[in-house]
Amino acid sequence: MGFPMISARNVLMARLPPITLRGYARTPLLSSRRRGVLAAALTARSFDSEQAMHDARVRITRMGPLSSFIDCVFHKGEKARSLHALVTLYFYKCAEEIGANPALIRADRDAARKTLATCLSPTAQDALRQSFDVGVGENDFEKYITLEDRHGMVGDMFMNEWRDQRFVAQMEQDQVLRDLAGATLTQIYRWTEATDTAADEAFRLGEAAYRRANLPGNAQAACVDAAADARAAAEAYAKENLHERAAGAWRRVVHAHMRAQQIVEAADASRSAAKALRRVALAHLKAGRRQAAKEAFKRIRQDFERAVQAYTTAGVAAQAQLAAREAEAAAYLEKLAGYPAALAFERAAREYRQLGMAGDAAQADEMAAACYVLLGEYERAAKAYARAGKGEKAAKNWARAAHGYAMQEGMHEQAENAFEMAALGFEAIRQHEQAVLAWVHAGRADEAIKVYVRAGMGELAAYERAARACLQIGEHVQAGKIWAELADLYLGRALFAEAATGYEHVAGAYLAEHKPTRAADALLIAAALFIKAAEHAVDARRAAQWRERAAQDFESAAELYTTAGESATDVHEAAQWHERAAQAFRQAGLLMRAVHAYMRAGLTEQAAYARIGDAHMQERRYAPAVDA
Complete DSSP assignment for 254-310: HHHHHHTT-HHHHHHHHHHHHHHHHHHHHHHHHTT-HHHHHHHHHHHHHHHHHHHHH
Task: Tell me what pLDDT residue 213 has.
Answer: 62
Task: Tell me what pLDDT residue 237 has.
Answer: 83
With beta carbons less than 8 A apart as the criterion, state whether 421 and 441 touch.
no
> Mean of the pLDDT values across residues 114-138?
69
Complete DSSP assignment for 27-55: S-SS-HHHHHHHHHT--GGGGG-HHHHHH
Average pLDDT, the chain: 78
Least confident of 15-19, 81-85, 248-252, 288-292: 15-19
pLDDT tens string 132-171: 665 555 677 888 888 777 766 766 666 666 555 444 545 4
Cα separation of 531 and 582, whole Å?
19
For the entire predicted model, the pTM comes to: 0.58
More confident residue, 433 or 205: 433
Give the pLDDT band of residue 202 (cuts 50, 70, 90): low
> Mean of the pLDDT values across residues 621-628?
37
pLDDT tens string 344-387: 889 989 988 998 889 889 988 998 998 899 889 999 999 999 99
With beta carbons less than 8 A apart as the criterion, state whether 482 and 466 touch.
yes
- Spatial CA neighbour of 222 closest among 265, 188, 173: 188
Instruction: Give me the domains of the chain, ranges plus CATH numbers.
Output: 390-474 (1.25.40), 498-627 (1.25.40)
pLDDT tens string 3-57: 333 333 333 333 333 222 233 334 454 556 556 666 676 776 677 777 877 877 7
pLDDT tens string 394-408: 999 999 999 999 888
- Spatial CA neighbour of 252 closest among 235, 241, 239, 318: 235
Task: Tell me what pLDDT residue 305 has.
Answer: 92
Give the pLDDT band of residue 626 (cuts 50, 70, 90): very low
Task: Tell me what pLDDT residue 210 has.
Answer: 66
Residue 477: is its pLDDT beyond 50? yes
Give the pLDDT band of residue 548 (cuts 50, 70, 90): very high
Residue 332: is its pLDDT beyond 90? no
Task: Tell me what pLDDT residue 117 has.
Answer: 78
With beta carbons less than 8 A apart as the criterion, state whether 500 and 530 touch.
yes
**How many helices (DSSP H) and strands (DSSP E) are in the chain?**
33, 0
- 46: number of CA atoms within 13 Å, CB side? 20
Least confident of 98-102, 328-332, 412-416, 495-499: 98-102
Task: Tell me what pLDDT residue 614 has.
Answer: 45
Tell whether the torsion through CA atoms of 253, 259, 262 and 263 is positive or negative: positive
Task: Tell me what pLDDT residue 621 has.
Answer: 40
> 10 Å Cβ neighbour count for 108?
12
More confident residue, 232 or 555: 555
